[in-house]
Amino acid sequence: MAIKTKQTKPPAVKADPLLLREQPPILMGMRNAAQQFRFIDLFCGIGGFRIAFERAGGKCVFSSDWDKYSQITYEANFGEKPHGDIHTVAVADIPGHEILCGGFPCQPFSIAGVSKKLSLGRKHGFDDEKQGNLFFEIAKILEHHRPAAFVLENVKNLRGHDQGRTFQIIYNTLTEILGYTVYFKVIDACKVVPQHRERIFLVGFRDWRPFEFPEFPAAGPKLSSILDPNPPEKYTLTDHLWEYLQNYAKKHKAAGNGFGFGLVTGNDIARTLSARYHKDGSEILISQGSAKNPRRLTPRECAKLMGYPADYRIPVSDTQAYRQFGNSVVVPVVERIARSVVDILKLPLGHRPDLVLLANDKSRAATDGAVHIPVNYLKPGKKKKS
């Protein structure tokens, strides 16, 4: 069944008492620049969403993550320890908020996660009892608190998991059951960081809003922008590991597979940083010339690769740091989305952007006798492409 990414007209208003109750100031225009909207940070990891939404003017009133090492890093940077397993938190105990944020666990839906679980005879997707049903915890919170908006993130493969049925359930739950208008888009972070990292973002509004995802630069930075000119020697691969990775790549190449290491220089853009990077660093190996083995990224370089600020604290071991940054969102991507969401919430309900109608007079031919004029709708200030 086809899924529309946008609604072109407001849905019919239902007499839902939850929607008719008194709403916080954010829904009445947020005209006061000093006002802070409240947001919650679910499956917060090490705080990528929090940094982004605080930069957009928000105040975090609740955070949650079950991983104890991520809690250590989060507390070191934000001064508070996230709540643990969201299953143990009563929905009514979560503070009221205007925006819900959540990068719900992606392993049950990622290509790598599904392959690994199948090889181990484990369940994946919604059948993964530990992680796969966490989306429904989000749904419960949305149903109870009815925030003005939400921003969710997951792996690109969420769209195709289980032949599209997983995404269909998520989309229908958010729209048909909970009544939110939902927009979604796969975004590659390479426009703002030197890494190909495709993730799907779902943005939802309780009341219909004409949302558009933010625009990104035409070209992004190269790896040289985040590399340490004098990395510690311990990050250089041993002869044994380097020989193993080369032999492994040769074996799979001969078999017609695409498996292998990713060797890059400062002039390149890296592959996706994964949570398994601590094992051998194979997806992103930095060339050090023909006379020296390549090296891993340092944890600090991984922080930069994910768009974290220079003063971000890394209080855990390298192994845990690699896992945490590999599981994180890219901060500048989320920040741009956050600002777009906040900007649209500041506008009065029912606001529609002014449109300019441009007609292409060259294409008037029609076989049925009618005049057909292809048109484009542009926002004021934008030029028509030639």
Residues taking part in catalysis: 106
Contact between 332 and 192 (Cβ < 8 Å)? yes
Question: Cα separation of 342 and 150, whole Å?
Answer: 11
Contact between 24 and 67 (Cβ < 8 Å)? no
Q: Within 10 A of 284 (CB to CB), how many other CB atoms are there? A: 25
Alpha carbons within 13 angstroms on the beta-carbon side of residue 104 total 23
Contact between 95 and 62 (Cβ < 8 Å)? yes
Cα Rg, the chain, nearest whole Å: 23
* 3-class DSSP state of 363: coil
> How big is the chain, counted in residues?
386
Show the DSSP H helices in the chain as ranges: 17-20, 48-55, 68-78, 111-119, 134-145, 165-172, 239-254, 277-280, 299-305, 318-326, 331-346
What does the DSSP assignment read for 203-271? EEESS-----PPP--SS---GGGT--SS--GGGBPPHHHHHHHHHHHHHHHHTT------EE-TTS-B-
Phi first, then psi: give them for residue 333, nearest 5 degrees. -65, -50
